[in-house]
Amino acid sequence: MATVTAASTLAFSLSPLDVALAHIAAYGFPKVELSDQITHSQHYGTDSVDPLAVKRCLDRYSLEPVAVNACMSGVRDTGRWAQPEIPVEQQSGSETEEIREAKKKVVFLKLHDSEQAAFYIERGRRLIDKAKVTGIPKVCLQAGRRKQIECVDDELKAAAEVIDGLAVYAKSCGIKILMEMPHVWDLYYDVEKSKRMLSLLRSDNIGVLIDATHWHTSGYDIDDYVRFLGDRLWHIHLRDAAGRDTPDGDYKLEKTPGRGEVDFGLLGETLDEYGYQGEVTLETEYKNYSSPEEVDAENRFALAHLKSVGWDIGVSP
């Protein structure tokens, strides 16, 4: 079956990068995915990270970076754009009060607004430049927030134009662009809108990342989508979830694989059927723990569960 090739620093969202890398290296993984979500997992902040310092840290633990997933669509409130406060999503896992309060101050950029799009493009190019210095081959970008949608057709077109432009720049730097689609909190929150978004993107330097959490929550046909994507499927995230994306929003994200409802066996079998050979990241997310050892216990449980349903782990859980 498909192989888990890396682990994400997102799991250690309350810990410094050095701690996250030390624990991931101890699992035996040779590869790592870096994460920065503004309010937590602050391991590769677009505006603050020293790319050479990160490179030295990766070298210290003999870890090869496979991607960076930094929240490009959100920024801390700069006072430049007045936006109605967006309620903090209740479907995520247990969070510290500090994180929940910080989330209330995040502004999500609208790429159909020319000023905000220009700001996003400048930050995107900066992230790509830093990824090149660190030696990170793929950058995951996002576009728009579901709760802010006014006209989805216009916003998808505007977002595609911005992402296409960044993909051209990224290609000149030897960097590939990932889009996590569907994502239940973004413009492309279901498979239909994800297919539309992909049809609008022109660059051959953009591939799709499938997250098991959003597959389960969205409830789309995984066989149909993997077949539709073909060679544009470049990356996989493994995390669990419970419930479905309904008007009531009665679902839970950020569960440890084996503690939710995702059919990881079916996912692996589907990837095998279509010959997927790309990266697969264990992307658990914990935002309220007292020690990194608690995260280790959950990650080891996740790896043991994935192995039990047929996944090739490559390391001993």
State pLDDT tens for residues 25-45: 999 999 999 999 999 999 999
- Residue 259 amino acid letter: R
Q: What residue spans of the chain are helical by DSSP H?
A: 17-27, 51-60, 97-103, 114-134, 152-172, 191-200, 212-218, 222-229, 264-273, 292-308
Q: Can you read off the two tokens belonging to residue 70?
A: 């930094």
| 120-146: average pLDDT | 96
Instruction: Show the 3-state SS of 243-268.
Output: ECCCCCCCEEEEECCCCCCCCHHHHH
Write down the pLDDT at residue 85.
65
| 134-139: average pLDDT | 98
Give the HSE-up count for residue 194: Cα atoms under 13 Å, Cβ half-sphere. 29
End-to-end CA gap in the chain: 17
> Rounded distance, CA 58 to CA 21, Å?
7
- Give the Å distances, CA to CA, from 170 to 15, 191, 243, 262: 29, 26, 37, 33
Look at residue 23 and tell me whether its pLDDT is greater than 90. Answer: yes
Look at residue 316 and tell me whether its pLDDT is greater than 70. Answer: no
List the chain domain ranges: 6-308
Is 253 buried (19+), middle (13-18) or exposed (0-12) by CB count in 10 A? Answer: buried
The rounded percent of the chain whose pLDDT value lies above 70 is 96
State the DSSP code for 95.
Answer: B
pLDDT band at 105 (very low <50, low <70, confident <90, very high): confident
**Entry pTM:** 0.96
Write down the pLDDT at residue 83.
67
Write down the pLDDT at residue 155.
97
Whether the CB-CB separation of 8 and 281 falls below 8 Å is answered with yes
> Rounded distance, CA 15 to CA 286, Å?
10
Write down the pLDDT at residue 209.
98
Q: What's the CATH number for 6-308?
A: 3.20.20.150
Look at residue 104 and tell me whether its pLDDT is greater than 80. Answer: yes
pLDDT tens string 180-216 = 999 999 999 999 999 999 999 999 999 999 999 999 9
Sequence-distant (6+) residues with CB within 8 A of 304 are: 258, 317
pLDDT tens string 38-90 = 999 999 999 999 999 999 999 999 999 999 999 998 888 767 776 666 676 77
| 269-279: average pLDDT | 97
> Rounded distance, CA 172 to CA 125, Å?
11
> Rounded distance, CA 289 to CA 62, Å?
26
Give the HSE-up count for residue 250: Cα atoms under 13 Å, Cβ half-sphere. 2
- Residue 225 amino acid letter: Y
Write down the pLDDT at residue 78.
67
pLDDT band at 247 (very low <50, low <70, confident <90, very high): confident
